[in-house]
Amino acid sequence: MKNQGKNASPLFKGMSQSREATLFYGESVDLFAQIVKKNFVPGTYTLADLGGNKGEFLSKVTEKLPEYSFKSYVVDVNLGIEIGLNAEKIDGNILENKFEDKSIDIVFLRYALSWNPFDKQKDVLKEVSRICKGVTIIQHQGYNDVQISEQDKVFSKIFDGRIPEIARNDYFPTNLSQVEKWMSELGLRFSRVQNRKVENISNLFIEKYRLNEKDAQLIKDILSGCDYLMQTCWVLDFRN
């Protein structure tokens, strides 16, 4: 992933200023910790954070679970590991067979799916189902089922280079129905535990990429009338 944003690491840890970044990043720490607690009694588990960047998010979630012990892995194409995090960093692509079949109790996949080309996202879900023997938590930023083409039109404009800080060609925020269709086709057992519209999402980009005033105004103008993303979370259960 080429372009993470100057302020990405603090945001991934939930250290945000804007309401939108707090909804998107900060609140997931408790959400993921609660899902782990609900599904696993305190004990020792293998945990893989796929597309976990440097493990910033993982470090915050595991802090909330002191009664658990994890053998943790962070897989990402981005190099580096959060200082003080007790996890093994595995550099490379999620799709490169990083783990044995059914070797991981808990898989996290937060906001990683949409950074994979459209034709690879189902493969990522398939990989999750190959390695996970327990529970996978997927949080996703995507388009609204009823406004896909409108959203795609404006969001492609914010990444096409007119705002150099954000320029990228690898962002594919698929919509809920598409992701659920893939999961159904793969025969995955999932429940949707969150689906909400986060308005004024331009504020998240402004904070994450520390945009100057001119570009902040530009992104607001571009997204005007369509300034939101959907935030969805699924829990996939691979236990018998």
Ligand X SMILES: C[S@@+](CC[C@H](N)C(=O)[O-])C[C@H]1O[C@@H](n2cnc3c(N)ncnc32)[C@H](O)[C@@H]1O
Name the residues that contact ligand X, by CB under 6 A. Answer: 1, 12, 51-53, 56-57, 75-78, 93-95, 110-112, 115-116
Which CB, 156 or 224, lies closer to ligand X? 156
DSSP state of 33: H
DSSP3 helix / strand / coil % (the chain, rounded to 5): 40, 25, 40
Give min distance, CB of 114 to ligand X, in A. 8
Compute the distance between CA of residue 100 and CA of residue 120 in angstroms, rounded to an integer: 20
Q: Which two tokens stand for residue 213?
A: 């005033």
Q: Which two tokens stand for residue 65?
A: 């679970």
Compute the distance between CA of residue 128 and CA of residue 120 in angstroms, rounded to an integer: 13
Which CB, 1 or 31, lies closer to ligand X? 1
Which CB, 1 or 148, lies closer to ligand X? 1
Which CB, 77 or 218, lies closer to ligand X? 77
Give min distance, CB of 77 to ligand X, in A. 4
Give min distance, CB of 18 to ligand X, in A. 16
Q: Which two tokens stand for residue 216?
A: 């902040």
Which CB, 52 or 142, lies closer to ligand X? 52
Give min distance, CB of 21 to ligand X, in A. 11
Give min distance, CB of 11 to ligand X, in A. 8
Compute the distance between CA of residue 156 and CA of residue 149 in angstroms, rounded to an integer: 10
Compute the distance between CA of residue 32 and CA of residue 233 in angstroms, rounded to an integer: 10
Q: Check: CB of residue 201 under 8 Å from CB of residue 228.
A: yes
Name the CA radius of gyration of the chain, rounded.
17
Give min distance, CB of 68 to ligand X, in A. 19
Compute the distance between CA of residue 52 and CA of residue 78 in angstroms, rounded to an integer: 9
Which CB, 194 or 239, lies closer to ligand X? 194
